[in-house]
Structure 1
Amino acid sequence: MILETDRLLLREMMLSDLDALLLVLGDAESMRYYPKPFDREMVQKWIDRQRRNYAQHAFGLWAMVLKATGEVIGDCGLIWQEVEGHQELEIGYHVRRDQQMQGYATEAAYACQDYAFNILGRCDRVISLIRPENIPSQRIAQKNGLKVVQEILWRDIQHYIYAVQRSESKLLATSNLSEAEKSKFKA
């Protein structure tokens, strides 16, 4: 396990997660803001790429697991992205359609922001690259304090760069605080 929230565990993806992640990444509705939904081979490559990221950077997108059931319902994590010629640390997330609108992505992304600023400590800002029409992902970013700083053409598709600087983050060193103390930092 990498991170734990009230309802979720974020852990490294494994090959045995392929079928669960295919339900997320292969769903046309869930992936409507991507060029196309993933097939089985693409999900396999996705897992392989994340495992390479773990080895190279000690982070990547992690499997999002419901603590109550042990079920993988998506992914969330940190990934380096090339944006306009320089590296940016992105918080990314995908949640299975039947588990959306329950705050899981917001909860997981919040934990990843905390991890980036307070555990890794290697960056002064985190971003999320979000398509202008992807209102649900924009809301998640906004709930976690990210704001639109730029509109760009990224991978030939219009995207907003949502970002938060370490100095602007609502997060302090919350990793070791009680849930009651952590709630003080959530607006």
Structure 2
Amino acid sequence: MGPVPRTLELFYDVLSPYSWFGFEVLCRYKNIWNINLQLRPTLIAGIMKDSGSLSAMRFLTAVNMEHPEMLEKVSRELWMRVWSRDEDISEPQSILAAAEKAGMSTEQAQVLLEEMSTPKVKNKLKETTEAACKYGAFGLPVTVAHLDGQTHMLFGSDRMELLAHLLGEKWMGPVPPAINAKL
């Protein structure tokens, strides 16, 4: 049995291309660095007051609450739609298409589309956004590392080398050799 994974929280919004970079890098390194990566969908509008991704982030919050095992794939697909293919992520049919492409069943996605407007989901997204603000967030992505009883907040996707240093790990670039060999 190896050392206990260190906890990292990644606060992100799919409207942020910088969040996407941070998301992909941390997903690639989560096993290499032995970290427990907690994905925290956050409304950037709650931090910056204007974004347009409310529906997508409410949907991701519902995914996180009901099917957390799908959160990484659905988040990635929403980023692919908006930043790679210039497709909509605000309309219900667009969100449904992203969820299905990520491997979620139509039935599961439809239920989450209905749940995303419930107070339970709205309050959870608000709570997560407030948590990011309490850590000092002024934009996204924000990575919060919990190490040896201390909390370290890092803003931006260009802080991965600093994060590696905090973790006592080696930074091998955005595509580490173990991942690069699979590509």
TM-score tier after normalising by the smaller chain length: under 0.3
TM-score by length of structure 2 reads 0.25
Greater RCO (CA < 8 Å, at least 6 residues apart): 2
More strand as a share of residues: 1
TM-score by length of structure 1 reads 0.25
